[in-house]
Amino acid sequence: MNFRWTIRRLHEWGLSRRKLRGGFLHSRLGDRFLARETWIPSRESLARAFLVGMPITMIPLLPLQSVFACPLALWARANLPVTIFLQFLSTPLTAVIHLPICYLTGRLLLGADLSAEWDQVWADPMGIVSRGSLGALYLGAVVLGPVLGALGYFLTHLIWKAQPPRARKAAAVVPKGQENAA
């Protein structure tokens, strides 16, 4: 099973862009939902997925992150599967790394001495939430999200080089005297 097989089966079942156009999903969600770049990663749509997905991913304790990220991804014409995948970077398993980094960034922005905070945070990483320091946690998340999104955007453009424009095929050269011989 590969990508072409999947697309062929979806087309047979009536789930192609041509067959869905004018239907319920198209009338409700428009051309952005059916656009190729929404589902198949391109250089631009992948870069926009980082710009949309990372700021929402970095906000801690936000339930239903994908519900907030999907409309923004459709509006920005970002790649929807990548945007949804980015939301799974902030799970309870990654919270042990994610929350302390946001908290320490917030405390740094508030002017605190990080040498004292560093040992306390890494001794009890989940104690950040119970200590009543949610302001620093959310401040760090609001700053780190757009910074990491922009970093992902620029790294995508740096790593994924743009395709050179395709040269047009040259018109067939017809020898003299054979122009009308068809």
- Is the separation of the CB atoms in 168 and 90 below 8 Å? no
* Predicted pLDDT at 151: 96
Quick: pLDDT tens for 31-71: 667 677 788 888 899 999 999 999 999 988 777 888 889 88
Handedness of CA 122, 126, 127, 128 (dihedral sign): positive
What is the rounded average pLDDT of the residues 11-22?
68
Q: How far is CA 74 from CA 25, 50, 57, 81, 122, in A?
A: 13, 13, 17, 11, 38
Q: N- to C-terminal Cα distance for the chain?
A: 46
Task: Tell whether pTM > 0.75.
Answer: no
